[in-house]
Chains A and B, each alone.
Chain A
Amino acid sequence: MTFVDLGHGLAHVFQPFDLLMLVTGLLVGMAVSIMPGLGLVMGVILALPFTYRMPIEPSIILLTAIYFSGTYAGCFTAILYRIPGEPMDVPMLWDGHAMAKRGAPAKALGWALVAALIGGLVSSAVMVAIAGPLSSVALSFDSPDYFAAVFFGLTTVVALAGRSLPNAIISLCVGLLVATVGIDSTYGTDRFTFGVPILEDGIQLVAILVGTYGLSEVLTRIGQGLRVSQPNDADRSVATEFPTLSELIAIRITIIRSTILGTLIGIVPGAGATITSFISYGIEKQYGRRRHLLGTGLPEGIVAPQIGATASVAGHMIPLLTLGLPGSGATAVILAAFLLHGVQPGPMLFQDPKSTLLVYTILSSMFVSVIGMCLLGFFWIRVVVKVLKIPQGILSAIVVMFCLVGAYANRNDLADVWMIVFFGILGYLFEKFAFPIAPLVLGAILGPIGEDSFVRSMIASGNDWLVFFKDPISAALMGASALALGYPLLREVLSRRQRQPLPASGGPR
C-alpha cells in the first residue's frame, strides 16, 4: 500500500548520507536561485557531476531538493531588491516588492514562506495519492491543448497591463518578436540571425531576464544618482513575520485555488514553474476578491504565484517518475541523473519491488525537502536581510557582476554578455517611457512554445482553425482566454461610459 511504501521511503530519507544530501541540495538551491543568471536549472546542472559516484537515492534527493528550494528562495531578492533570480519570481515583484516597499518586508517574506510550505506539502500529498490517473491526463495533452494553454498564459498580459493596455500589448509584441530570433524549430529557417552564429540558437531567456530586470534596475538606480532610499529600514532587525491564522483564513480561496492550479499545470509537460507562477497570478488578478488592489502589495499577490511555483515541482516529478517525461528544465536534468545511474524512469519503476522503494524514497524526500526548505529559509532570510546594509553603490556593482558572470556562464560566450547589456538598456528605456516589462518577458518565454504548438496543430489538422475548439481541454482554455481578454475591455468601456476615473490600480510594471 502507498502508506507503507511511503513509510519505508521516509525511513530511507533519514539515513545520514541521504539527509546530508537533502540539506546540501536545499542550500545549493537557495544560493543559486537568489543569484540572477544562475537559477535552479543551472543549480541542478552544476550538481549533476557530483552525483556520479553516489548511489541513486541521494543523487535524486539532492537534485529534487535543489529544485524545490530553487522555486522558493528566489523570492528573497525579488521581494527585497526587485531582482528576480528566475523568471518564476517575476510576479513576486508586483505585490511582494510593493509590500516590502511599504515597510513590511518581513511580512512579505513570511507570506512567501507559508505559501511555499502549503504549496509544496499539499501538492506533494495530492500527487502521491493520484499519480496514476493524473499521468494519463498529461498524456492526453496534444498540440492544440498546448497552444490553448499558452494562449491563455498570454492573455494574462491584459491582467498585467497596469495603466496602459496599448503599452502592454506593444511590450508583449516586442517579447514575441525577440522570441522569433534564431532557427525556427519546425522548418529550420533562419530568422533575424543576420548570419551571426550565436543568434542561431535564439536569444537566451537568461539574457532577457537578467538584462531587463537585473541590469536595467541598476541603470535606473544610477539614473537616480544611487540616492534611492533602500526598500526598507535595514537597521531594524528584520526577520520573517508569519501571517496570523485569521489572515490565512481570509485568503483561503486564493490558497486553495493556487494549489490546485499549480499541481494541475505542473503535470503538463513543458509548462514549468514560471508559467504556473504567471497563470496563478493572472487568475488572481482576474477573479480574486480584491483584484482591483492587486499590485499594491496584497498577500494574495505573493501567495498565488509562490504556491503555484512550488506546487508545480510535485506536479512535474510525477510524469517524470511514472512516464519518464521531464516537464521542465530541472526535471530533464533529474532524468539525466537517473540515466547516468542506469535507471530509466517509467511505468516499470512502479512494478519492480526494488525500484518501488526508490520511488517512494524520492516521493517522501519531497515532503522532507519542503519542510526543511522552510526551516532553512526562516534563518537564511536573516542573513539575506543583512545584505541590505551594503551601500547602494556597492550592491549595484555586485548585482552587475552577478548579472554579467551569469550571462557568460550560461553558454561561455561573450556575445551573451553584450546581449544582456542590450536588454539592460532596453529595460531601462521601457521603464523610463512607462512600458511594462512583464509582457515582454512573458512573450519571450511563451512565444516559442506557443508558435511551435500552433504550427504543429495546423500541420496535424490540415490547417483547420477550429481545431482549438474541438477538444474539451483546449476549448475550455480558449474560453477562459476569451473571458480574460473580453472582461477587462468590457469593464473599461463600462467605466468610461459612467465617466468614472479608473481605479488607481498602481499596476505592476
Chain B
Amino acid sequence: MSVARKCVWIGALLLALVLSAPATPAQARYPDHPIDFIVPWGPGGGADLLARTAGKIMAHDLGASFPVLNVPGATGMVGMTKLLTSPADGYTLAVLIGDTYALLARPRPAFDPKQVIPLAIMIQQPSGYWVSTKSPWKTWPEFVASAKQHPLKVAILGYGSADDITTSYLQTKGLKLTEIPYAKPVLRYTSIIGGHTDLLYEQTGDVRSYFDGGEIRPLILFYPRRLTIPQFKDVPIGTEFGYTVDLPQFRSIVVKAGTPPAIVKLLADELAKVAKTAEWKTYLQSQYADPDSYIPMDGARQFMNAWLDQARKFRALTNMGAR
C-alpha cells in the first residue's frame, strides 16, 4: 500500500469520526437519555400504573425511555425527597398524589408546594364512604341515623390524611365515628369486608374489584358533581346533604422547581397528548376515575392550591391540631 493511499484511508477514517460525533456535544436535544419516573408508592398501585401507562405513551413520542423508580415510604414523602434532591434538569419526574399533598396541610410541612411544578393533573377519583353489602345500611341517611345513636368504626388511611379530615368534619356534624387507621390498603379492605369496621373511606378505583364483586357499596361520594359513570350516577354527593368538604384523590405529575421552562413546556405538551389517547381513556375507565380528569399545566397549580386551602380550612374547623 502506497503512502498516498494510506493517507486517503486515514483521512477517510478521521472524516467518519468527525461526522459521527454530535454537532454540539452537550444538551443537543432533550431528552438524550432516559428520564427517571419516581413513583413514591410500591409497584401495582394506582400511582405506579399511572407512571407506567403515561411513561409508555411518552416514550413512544419522545424516543427516550421512562424507567419507573418505586420509592415508597412515609405516605410518599420519601419519593418526593428523592425528587427534591435530584437536579432540576428535566430528567426526573414524579407522581404526586392527594394523600401526600394532604401532609402539606399539617403544621411544619416537609416541603413547600412551590418547590415543585405540576405539569398536569392526570386523574381525579371521587372519594367517599363505603359499607359492606352485608351491612343494614342502604342509604347515607340511614347510616347517619345509626351513627348519631351509637359510635361506629371508620377505616381510614391514617391521621392527618384526607380520610381523617373528611371524617373529622362529619364528627362536627354530630356523627359518632371512631377512626381506625389502617396504613396498609389490604388491611383496610379486609376490615370492611370482614366486618371489623362499619365504614370505609376510599376513592372509587382502588376498591373497584370489591365493588364489582358485590362486596361493598358506596353511600356517598365527595366530589363537585355527580359522576357520569353509569355505576355511580345514582350515588349522592356531599353537597346534596349540605356537606361542604370535597377532597378527591388526584394524581399529578410534577418536576422540581427550577427546571428549564422549555423542557417544562415540552413535557406538559406531551402529557396533554397522553390525556387524549384512547389508551389513557381506557386507563381512566379502569380506575373508575372522572372521564374529564385531566387538568393542563396552567390550571393544575390553581387546582392544587385550592385543594390545599380546603384541607387547611377543614383542619382548623375540626380541631385536628398537630395530627
Query: Is B178's CB under 8 angstroms from A459's CB?
Result: yes
Query: Is A460's CB under 8 angstroms from B153's CB?
Result: yes
Q: Name B159's contact: one of A138, A188, A324 (CB within 8 Å).
A: A188
> Which chain B residues numbered 23 to 70 have a C-beta less than 8 Å away from chain A?
42-45, 48-49, 52, 56, 69-70
B77 — nearest CB in chain A belongs to which residue? A200
Shortest CB–CB separation between residue B21 and chain A, in angstroms?
Answer: 31
Query: Is A324's CB under 8 angstroms from B78's CB?
Result: no
A339 to B70, CA, bound (A): 16
> Which chain B residues numbered 174 to 232 have a C-beta less than 8 Å away from chain A?
178-184, 186-187, 189-191, 193-194, 196-197, 208-210, 212-215
> Which chain A residues numbered 81 to 102 have a C-beta less than 8 Å away from chain B?
none
Shortest CB–CB separation between residue A46 and chain B, in angstroms?
Answer: 11
A222 to B153, CA, bound (A): 57
A270 to B191, CA, bound (A): 13
Query: Is A325's CB under 8 angstroms from B42's CB?
Result: no
Query: Is B69's CB under 8 angstroms from A348's CB?
Result: no
Determine the chain B residues whose CB is within 8 A of the CB of A185 once the complex forms: 158, 181, 183
A50 to B75, CA, bound (A): 28
> Which chain A residues numbered 323 to 366 have a C-beta less than 8 Å away from chain B?
323-327, 332-333, 335-337, 339-340, 342, 344-348
A202 to B193, CA, bound (A): 30
Given A270-B187, A342-B286, A347-B215: A200 touches B73 (CB 8 Å cut-off): yes
Given A186-B183, A342-B286, A348-B209: A200 touches B43 (CB 8 Å cut-off): no
Shortest CB–CB separation between residue B92 and chain A, in angstroms?
Answer: 12
Asked whether A48 is an interface residue with its Cβ less than 8 Å from the other chain, the reply is: yes
Asked whether A139 is an interface residue with its Cβ less than 8 Å from the other chain, the reply is: yes
A185 — nearest CB in chain B belongs to which residue? B183
Shortest CB–CB separation between residue A383 and chain B, in angstroms?
Answer: 31
A327 to B185, CA, bound (A): 11
> Which chain A residues numbered 167 to 220 have a C-beta less than 8 Å away from chain B?
182-183, 185-188, 197, 200-202
Indicate the size class of the contact surface on chain B.
35 or more
Query: Is B43's CB under 8 angstroms from A452's CB?
Result: no
Asked whether A141 is an interface residue with its Cβ less than 8 Å from the other chain, the reply is: yes
Given A344-B209, A456-B181: A325 touches B43 (CB 8 Å cut-off): no
A183 — nearest CB in chain B belongs to which residue? B74
Determine the chain B residues whose CB is within 8 A of the CB of A182 once the complex forms: 74
Determine the chain B residues whose CB is within 8 A of the CB of A324 once the complex forms: 209-210
Contact with A along B128-161 (1 / 0, CB 8 A): 0000000000000000000000000100001110
Query: Is A48's CB under 8 angstroms from B43's CB?
Result: yes
Determine the chain B residues whose CB is within 8 A of the CB of A339 once the complex forms: 44, 49
Asked whether B71 is an interface residue with its Cβ less than 8 Å from the other chain, the reply is: yes
> Which chain A residues numbered 48 to 65 have a C-beta less than 8 Å away from chain B?
48, 52
B191 — nearest CB in chain A belongs to which residue? A142
Asked whether B319 is an interface residue with its Cβ less than 8 Å from the other chain, the reply is: no
Asked whether B115 is an interface residue with its Cβ less than 8 Å from the other chain, the reply is: no
Asked whether A412 is an interface residue with its Cβ less than 8 Å from the other chain, the reply is: yes
A345 to B189, CA, bound (A): 14
Shortest CB–CB separation between residue B231 and chain A, in angstroms?
Answer: 14
Asked whether B277 is an interface residue with its Cβ less than 8 Å from the other chain, the reply is: no
B53 — nearest CB in chain A belongs to which residue? A340
A45 to B184, CA, bound (A): 19
Asked whether A498 is an interface residue with its Cβ less than 8 Å from the other chain, the reply is: no
Query: Is A197's CB under 8 angstroms from B81's CB?
Result: yes
Shortest CB–CB separation between residue B102 and chain A, in angstroms?
Answer: 11
Query: Is A188's CB under 8 angstroms from B160's CB?
Result: yes
Asked whether A140 is an interface residue with its Cβ less than 8 Å from the other chain, the reply is: yes
Q: Name B209's contact: one of A140, A200, A346, A460 (CB within 8 Å).
A: A346
Given A139-B190, A346-B209, A348-B212: A411 touches B43 (CB 8 Å cut-off): no
Q: Name A139's contact: one of B44, B153, B193, B209 (CB within 8 Å).
A: B193
Q: Name A142's contact: one of B43, B69, B81, B196 (CB within 8 Å).
A: B196
Asked whether A143 is an interface residue with its Cβ less than 8 Å from the other chain, the reply is: yes
Asked whether A507 is an interface residue with its Cβ less than 8 Å from the other chain, the reply is: no
Determine the chain B residues whose CB is within 8 A of the CB of A201 once the complex forms: 72-74, 78
Query: Is B213's CB under 8 angstroms from A346's CB?
Result: yes
Q: Name B189's contact: one of A142, A183, A325 (CB within 8 Å).
A: A325
> Which chain B residues numbered 265 to 292 have a C-beta less than 8 Å away from chain A?
286
Determine the chain A residues whose CB is within 8 A of the CB of B214 once the complex forms: 347
A337 — nearest CB in chain B belongs to which residue? B44
Asked whether A269 is an interface residue with its Cβ less than 8 Å from the other chain, the reply is: yes
A339 to B182, CA, bound (A): 22
Contact with B along A32-48 (1 / 0, CB 8 A): 00000000000001001
> Which chain A residues numbered 134 to 184 have a C-beta less than 8 Å away from chain B?
138-143, 182-183
Query: Is B69's CB under 8 angstroms from A269's CB?
Result: no
B181 — nearest CB in chain A belongs to which residue? A186
Q: Name A186's contact: one of B77, B81, B159 (CB within 8 Å).
A: B159
Query: Is B158's CB under 8 angstroms from A186's CB?
Result: yes
A45 to B181, CA, bound (A): 28
A44 — nearest CB in chain B belongs to which residue? B43
Shortest CB–CB separation between residue A269 and chain B, in angstroms?
Answer: 5
Determine the chain A residues whose CB is within 8 A of the CB of B77 once the complex forms: 183, 200
B183 — nearest CB in chain A belongs to which residue? A185
Determine the chain A residues whose CB is within 8 A of the CB of B178 once the complex forms: 459-460
A34 to B201, CA, bound (A): 42
Determine the chain B residues whose CB is within 8 A of the CB of A344 once the complex forms: 208-209, 212
Given A197-B81, A333-B43: A459 touches B160 (CB 8 Å cut-off): no
Query: Is B158's CB under 8 angstroms from A348's CB?
Result: no
Shortest CB–CB separation between residue A473 and chain B, in angstroms?
Answer: 12
Determine the chain A residues whose CB is within 8 A of the CB of B194 once the complex forms: 139-142
Determine the chain A residues whose CB is within 8 A of the CB of B160 once the complex forms: 188
Q: Name B186's contact: one of A187, A325, A342, A456 (CB within 8 Å).
A: A325
Q: Which 6 A-B pairs have the closest CB atoms?
A: A336-B44, A201-B73, A346-B209, A139-B194, A344-B209, A347-B213
Known: A333-B43, A344-B208. 11 other contacts (CB 8 A): A183-B77, A185-B158, A188-B158, A188-B159, A323-B193, A324-B210, A327-B186, A346-B215, A348-B209, A411-B71, A460-B180
Query: What are 13 A-to-B residue pairs whose CB atoms are below 8 Å?
Result: A139-B194, A140-B194, A188-B159, A188-B160, A269-B190, A324-B210, A335-B44, A336-B45, A339-B44, A346-B215, A347-B213, A348-B212, A460-B180
